[in-house]
Structure 1
Amino acid sequence: MSKPSLAALLLGTALYPVSLLAQPVLLDPIVLTSEEDAPGRIAASQAQIDDARTGTLEDVFRAEPSVTVGGGIAIAERVFVNGIDEQQLAVSVDGAPQNNRMFHHTGTNIIDPGLLKAARVDPGVAPADAGFAALAGSLAYETKSALDLLEPGRDFGGQVTTGLASNGDTATGALTLYGRQGPVDALAYGRRATGDAYKDGDGNSVPRTGADMSSHALKLGAQMGDWRAELGVLGFKDDALRPYRANLGGVISPRPTPESRRYVLDQQTRTLTLRRTATDGLLDPEIRIARSESALDTFDLATPDNATPDFNTGRADTVSVVVQNRFQLGEAELVVGLDNARSRGRYAGQFRGALLAFREDRTNTGVFAQARGSHGTVDYSAGLRYDQSRFTGVAGQSVDTEGASVNGALTWHVTDALRVNAGASSVFGGTQLASVYELDDFSAPDAYDALGATRGQNRVLGVEWSQGGTTLGAEVFRTRIGNVRKGLTARTLESDGFRLSARQDWAGGFAALRYSDTDVTLDGRGASSFDVRELGTIPGAMLTLEARHEVMAGLSLGGVVQHAIRERTGASDTDSDWPGYTVVDVYAEYEPAAYDNLTLRAEVTNLFDRAYVDRASYGGDFSEVVGQREPGRSIAATAVLRF
């Protein structure tokens, strides 16, 4: 599967024509190693977040092959990092831990890109202050506040965003209002997207895929002497008829199912943060209380033969408290803290005519310390956590576990142009909660005896060379998660592979080529997408090319090319390989000089109208599974007016 020679040839070919224009101008990169304490960190640039303002998370990470997002519609999007499902990462929104235990036919954390200030991924090795159970790394989202958007000298502002896409006649509208009065600041945000079912690249309508999404945010802040308090409320809702399995076009199987059912997905995150803003290097405390909840209800449709159809309700929530202090000790920084989180998964419904209700709980208390600093030509980061985890099963069974987690990373600046990064971690994950729609009658006294404490082992080694406007990078990685939960059995999930990257900057623009080749196995053997559902995906080899250029003042052109290389199935129970595909997205963005508060954008997604199922979507390795195809060509226009 791995084709390093092909990747190297492509990297060199892409660099040659633009190297003649090289000048050291850097514009909003996704960098392979963006922070010395975080080997392999992937951070979406502000430009990429802005590009996705009327889109979804798939649009945010489109140019990064190591972060794949499956699902053709927003509620089905799942994020995978190096082929590992986000359920195996520590995911946070504004520092609030997310409970990722949701239905495998839907996404677990839906984030509106219009709210995003930052999106950062630490693949594999994550710091101790990223949170509990960062088994395969961490994924952190930060949302905007009024202070991020207010222009200098102004106390009030706003922004209106409108968009229209031809495929599915999808209309998007968003309004943001923000301001401050004395020590108080506030931001209010609302967005609505509606549309019809989109068409795939063959011109066929993909049923029940029309946009029907609402999101909102309220952020309040207050300065109280040396302290600042912040309250945040974020929400997302999708309520519509969807395919019976929301992430699939259908399944050809002996057991027939209806074509559609109603899905109601509602996610909420609430945070209250208090921190000291006037610091002396020794007293820089922060206290954060948060609650995150995902609620998913599905309702089968009544028929003449069944007046009381099945229904399912699932709730996954986490209530957390974090108390930490940041010490500045010379050139070193030390974060020390305590966190506690109570997480629940609850299911209730009528399945095949039977009324059912199940619940699992987990409470975790941890202490952590993370040091970051530099010594000479070496930057370092090292951290330690110790967690006590109490798990309660469906019938009240108790499983108590405890363990330590350790991480370390070094960046050696060999020369001004060359640096080498290395990182490793061993992460305790306790006993995992089941996904709420996977809960069952686990009432036997010994039902959970086979589940040991989950532990992730991660290794990262990378090198980066940067000279003038040229940057080259390479990295190898390996993740192994032992005792990962699959029903009531413990499995071993592994991901290993490498990344290559090349970037050329010139006056007014850049081009970046990124290649990722990843193998995912379960219990040491090739796995199918069915085997690794809620654990991972089979990304194989992916290549992306991102380019952006300012043609003239206020006018920029750019685009992203995604190429998935054909991947042979390694599982014994599959009968199809994953086909390759190439998708091209292009855009033009204009900010008129006479109207510096207006941004106009025109784009064409899937320019060549390819019919394909995203590599990270489920079912591509089974002939009896009809994958959910991505949208075909779409022409879209967006306008952003700031006032």
Structure 2
Amino acid sequence: MAFNKFTLSVSLSVLAMALSNASAQEVEEKQSVQDTVVVVGALTDIDINSEDLELFQAASLTDVFRSVPSVSVGGGVGLAQKIYIRGLEDTMINVTIDGAPQGGTLFHHIGRVNIEPELLEQVQVQTGASEATFGFGAIAGAIRFKTKNANDLLEEDKSFGGKVKATYLSNDGYKGSASLYGRITDEIGIIGTYVYSDAENYKDGNGDEVYGTGASQELGFVKLSGDFDNGHSFSLSYEHRQEEADLGERPNWPVLADSLLFESEGTRGTAVANYGYETEAGNAVQLTGFWSNTEFFQGRTNRWGEYGAEIETIGFDIRSILNLGGHDIVAGFEHHQDKVSGQYLADYETWSAWSWDPNTGYFEEQGSLFGAYIQDKWRPFEKLLLTAGARFDSYDLDMETYDESTRSDGFSFNGGLDYAVLDGLNFNIGYAEAFRGKEIGDGFTLERGPNRLRLHPDLQPETVGNFETGFVYTKGGFKGSIAYYDMQIDNVIFDQIGNSSFAEDSIYADLRQDSFFYDNIGTYDSTGIEVRAEYQSGPFYVSAFYNQNDSELNGRKIEGYEEVGLGTSVGDNWNLTAGFTPNDRLSFQASLTQYLDLNDIETLYRAVELGWIDETQFVDKPGYTVVDLFATWQPFETEMVEFSAAVYNLFDEQYLAHASVADYNHIAGWEGVSGVAERGRDIRVTAALKF
């Protein structure tokens, strides 16, 4: 990477200066810069708060991230929705819920992230490789889900309260939730939430029923938290989420009216413990411990029958925040153990006829990750903020069922600055690296063929370099920014499908690859521009963004079918949103989003290599325009009663989201390969009672 020597020099110099100043100066009481913007990626990061989610009446990941330029969500089915940041799939994103990572892949035809929007106090989207504190595998960035606690909801003069909500979706379902929260003592509070939703198959923009999209979801959540005057704080939470549906064989592909549907169930349980202590001088300690378990069951009635996959993660993160002179330094280490398993669940006679080994119907992989990091933010004078950091990561993977393993470790560095050029105008530039070894695999593809390799014997870890620069201008009620980024991933680790042999001149010529074989397949490049602008005057506000991203693997565009698990390409997109809030009890918003055509994406390279087809093919992603409307109204002087209304896809646009798999139906032998058409017009009405 071209910036390595420069980055190493800047990072070590700034960190050395920080530690030198810390030893020479006494700790001062000052405002910590830990809460200011991070430098690398600052211009494209964004926060989503609970007020936004309530205005959107968010019921899915698409709703949660609808206003985030760098994020696209594909897949009309809730369980199958996948998140992409700058073209990279959520397998390349560090996702946490209250600090608990949501890692691994259960099944490549469903999404990796599931969350109930009703629980969320805030969602932080941090784009691209950036600070050393972002966690393991933050290749495309990080998404931080933060859940509500009792103090977020209780009024100061109350020790008990609750909120009940009911939502009707015209296309086609309903949702209800109830939360109770209270103070056990002046410092300690508890909240409990139950959410249930039920939906039938929705209709697309043409008015046609989209089979295999109905589902029921149920969630229970409890959180005990305390915040004490002496600087101590803690929280203990547990969440259990369950979704049941009759889905197609591949849930992110369309289901024909006469095709089989299979009973499917996805569950997740997450327990998190957080403790913090902060001194008056701004020094702090933060500890997080977590356990998470996710499962997916598919009750197939054909081929090998029922099958299930499970991922269990347990670990911790310990960090200290030191406010030393002019520096804020975060240092810590994290570790977690991951286990993924897959299992035939039908009777022996059914699955043994399909298995590679009739004596083995259970498969398991275990991974161990350790990371240590340090990140410094230093403001040498008022106009300049410098950041620098370093991180060490170690990855161990063991295929417990088979005799294969891989281990890797490495360092990554980052550095950047934010400088106030003029009053209201800031210049931002930064470079960051990330490191990722091979992690646990896909729960539905853990089985290995006899005498075949799943991992390339010389498998190398992925290394990432992310350069970003831009400007932000703030004046009065106006704020605008423009950012350019250029990211490169070397030694991309990818699953090469299809049995094949090593080259005859290879030292491994006598070995044979498995039908799911992990290899370093080349270099991934992602470049883009993101422009944002917003203006507010009295009760009126308007915002807009334009997003352009070019994602290529070895010089060619990627697509979500052939590059499943890595990423996809989306067309240029822009949004215009206008709002009117005449008073605290009434608000209106209208939003227009457009994706431009992205045509002639060349694909099926691997199929040509394997001889499945004679030449590569081309697929298109037609553009689309969607208009959404939102309104909230509190009819009384208090917040006791609130009504919300929304119209998604006002003009019943028929479209396939660019973040979904493109349409391959015109290619002989690939009929049926496509994403699922998105929901047509959907009118949502919510009534909420707060007491």
Deviation at 1:483, TM superposition (A): 2.5
- Residues 364 and 389 of structure 1 are in contact (CA less than 8 Å); yes or no, is this contact kept in structure 2? yes
Aligned to 1:514: 545
Write out aligned runs for 1:204-243 (5 A): 204-222=208-226, 227-243=232-248
Deviation at 1:38, TM superposition (A): 4.6
Aligned to 2:661: 618
Helix, strand or coil at the partner of 1:292: strand
Alignment partner of 1:465 out of 453, 465, 473: 473
Aligned to 1:500: 531
Aligned to 2:372: 367
Q: Is residue 438 of structure 1 aligned with residue 445 of structure 2? A: yes
C-alpha distance in structure 1 between counterparts of 2:308 and 2:650, whole Å: 40
- Residues 136 and 481 of structure 1 are in contact (CA less than 8 Å); yes or no, is this contact kept in structure 2? no
Unaligned residue ranges in structure 1 (runs of 5+): 1-32
Write out aligned runs for 1:553-592 (5 A): 554-572=585-603, 573-592=616-635
Residue deviations 1:44-98, cap 9 Å, x none?
A: 2443222244411211211223211111122111111111111112111111122
Deviation at 1:250, TM superposition (A): 4.0
Q: Supply the AA of the counterpart residue of 1:178.
A: Y
Q: Supply the AA of the counterpart residue of 1:242.
A: L
Q: Is residue 541 of structure 1 aligned with residue 569 of structure 2? A: no
C-alpha distance in structure 2 between counterparts of 1:222 and 1:470, whole Å: 38
- Residues 55 and 630 of structure 2 are in contact (CA less than 8 Å); yes or no, is this contact kept in structure 1? no
- Structure of greater relative contact order (alpha carbons < 8 Å, 6+ residues apart): 1
C-alpha distance in structure 1 between counterparts of 2:207 and 2:158, whole Å: 49
C-alpha distance in structure 2 between counterparts of 1:226 and 1:466, whole Å: 34
Aligned to 1:402: 409
Write out aligned runs for 1:600-619 (5 A): 600-619=643-662
Aligned to 2:385: 379
Q: Supply the AA of the counterpart residue of 1:581.
A: Y
Deviation at 1:312, TM superposition (A): 1.6
User: Which stretch of structure 1 is more off in the superposition, 433-442 or 380-389?
Assistant: 433-442
Unaligned residue ranges in structure 2 (runs of 5+): 1-35, 496-517, 604-615
Q: Supply the AA of the counterpart residue of 1:642.
A: K
C-alpha distance in structure 2 between counterparts of 1:62 and 1:446, whole Å: 38
C-alpha distance in structure 1 between counterparts of 2:559 and 2:394, whole Å: 34
Query: CA separation of 1:494/1:234 partners in 2, compared to 1, >3 Å: closer, same or farther?
Result: farther
Q: Supply the AA of the counterpart residue of 2:558.
A: A
Residue deviations 1:300-330, cap 9 Å, x none?
A: 136xxx8xx5122111222111111111113
Query: CA separation of 1:383/1:279 partners in 2, compared to 1, >3 Å: closer, same or farther?
Result: same
Helix, strand or coil at the partner of 1:201: coil
Residue deviations 1:271-311, cap 9 Å, x none?
A: 111222455444x2122111122211111136xxx8xx512
C-alpha distance in structure 2 between counterparts of 1:69 and 1:262, whole Å: 24
Helix, strand or coil at the partner of 1:529: coil
- Residues 100 and 109 of structure 1 are in contact (CA less than 8 Å); yes or no, is this contact kept in structure 2? no
Deviation at 1:369, TM superposition (A): 0.8
Helix, strand or coil at the partner of 1:631: coil
Aligned to 1:246: 251
Write out aligned runs for 1:242-321 (5 A): 242-250=247-255, 258-282=259-283, 284-301=284-301, 310-321=305-316
Helix, strand or coil at the partner of 2:546: strand
Deviation at 1:228, TM superposition (A): 2.7
C-alpha distance in structure 2 between counterparts of 1:77 and 1:299, whole Å: 20
Alignment partner of 1:490 out of 498, 520, 529: 520
Q: Supply the AA of the counterpart residue of 2:485.
A: F
Aligned to 1:28: none
Aligned to 2:683: 635
- Residues 215 and 244 of structure 2 are in contact (CA less than 8 Å); yes or no, is this contact kept in structure 1? no
- Residues 188 and 218 of structure 1 are in contact (CA less than 8 Å); yes or no, is this contact kept in structure 2? yes
Residue deviations 1:364-422, cap 9 Å, x none?
A: 22211111232221112221111222221352423221101212231111112211111
C-alpha distance in structure 1 between counterparts of 2:75 and 2:676, whole Å: 7
Aligned to 2:196: 192
C-alpha distance in structure 2 between counterparts of 1:446 and 1:552, whole Å: 61
Aligned to 2:639: 596
Aligned to 1:111: 115
Helix, strand or coil at the partner of 1:147: helix
Deviation at 1:34, TM superposition (A): 5.6
Q: Supply the AA of the counterpart residue of 1:326.
A: I
Deviation at 1:447, TM superposition (A): 3.5
C-alpha distance in structure 2 between counterparts of 1:47 and 1:560, whole Å: 16
Alignment partner of 1:531 out of 558, 562, 587: 562
Q: Supply the AA of the counterpart residue of 1:612.
A: Y
Deviation at 1:227, TM superposition (A): 3.1
Q: Supply the AA of the counterpart residue of 1:196.
A: E
Q: Supply the AA of the counterpart residue of 1:233.
A: Y
- Residues 391 and 413 of structure 2 are in contact (CA less than 8 Å); yes or no, is this contact kept in structure 1? yes
- Residues 576 and 622 of structure 1 are in contact (CA less than 8 Å); yes or no, is this contact kept in structure 2? no
Segments ≥4 residues shifted beyond 4 Å: 33-38, 222-226, 277-280, 442-446
User: Which stretch of structure 1 is more off in the superposition, 339-348 or 475-484?
Assistant: 475-484
C-alpha distance in structure 2 between counterparts of 1:223 and 1:516, whole Å: 40
Aligned to 1:340: 335
C-alpha distance in structure 1 between counterparts of 2:140 and 2:637, whole Å: 49
C-alpha distance in structure 2 between counterparts of 1:409 and 1:260, whole Å: 52
C-alpha distance in structure 1 between counterparts of 2:188 and 2:642, whole Å: 29
Helix, strand or coil at the partner of 1:475: strand
Aligned to 2:13: none
Query: CA separation of 1:627/1:609 partners in 2, compared to 1, >3 Å: closer, same or farther?
Result: same
Please, what is the CA RMSD of the aligned residues? 2.3
C-alpha distance in structure 1 between counterparts of 2:664 and 2:676, whole Å: 13
C-alpha distance in structure 1 between counterparts of 2:416 and 2:57, whole Å: 34
Deviation at 1:268, TM superposition (A): 2.0
Residue deviations 1:81-134, cap 9 Å, x none?
A: 111111112111111122132322111011111111111111113321221221
Helix, strand or coil at the partner of 1:570: strand
Q: Which has the larger Rg? A: 2
Q: Supply the AA of the counterpart residue of 1:294.
A: T
- Residues 37 and 411 of structure 1 are in contact (CA less than 8 Å); yes or no, is this contact kept in structure 2? no
Query: CA separation of 1:446/1:585 partners in 2, compared to 1, >3 Å: closer, same or farther?
Result: closer
Helix, strand or coil at the partner of 1:47: helix
C-alpha distance in structure 2 between counterparts of 1:447 and 1:83, whole Å: 25
Deviation at 1:575, TM superposition (A): 3.4
- Residues 129 and 464 of structure 2 are in contact (CA less than 8 Å); yes or no, is this contact kept in structure 1? no
- Residues 168 and 685 of structure 2 are in contact (CA less than 8 Å); yes or no, is this contact kept in structure 1? yes
Deviation at 1:36, TM superposition (A): 5.0
C-alpha distance in structure 2 between counterparts of 1:343 and 1:336, whole Å: 24
C-alpha distance in structure 2 between counterparts of 1:226 and 1:375, whole Å: 28
Aligned to 2:428: 421
C-alpha distance in structure 2 between counterparts of 1:594 and 1:468, whole Å: 30
User: Which stretch of structure 1 is more off in the superposition, 375-384 or 599-608?
Assistant: 375-384
Deviation at 1:595, TM superposition (A): 4.3
C-alpha distance in structure 1 between counterparts of 2:570 and 2:375, whole Å: 32
Query: CA separation of 1:63/1:446 partners in 2, compared to 1, >3 Å: closer, same or farther?
Result: closer
Helix, strand or coil at the partner of 1:49: helix
- Residues 202 and 609 of structure 1 are in contact (CA less than 8 Å); yes or no, is this contact kept in structure 2? yes
The count of corresponding residues between Structure 1 and Structure 2 is 600
Q: Supply the AA of the counterpart residue of 1:177.
A: L
Q: TM-score, normalised by structure 2?
A: 0.83
Give identity over the alignment, percent.
Answer: 26
C-alpha distance in structure 1 between counterparts of 2:444 and 2:600, whole Å: 27
C-alpha distance in structure 2 between counterparts of 1:312 and 1:550, whole Å: 51
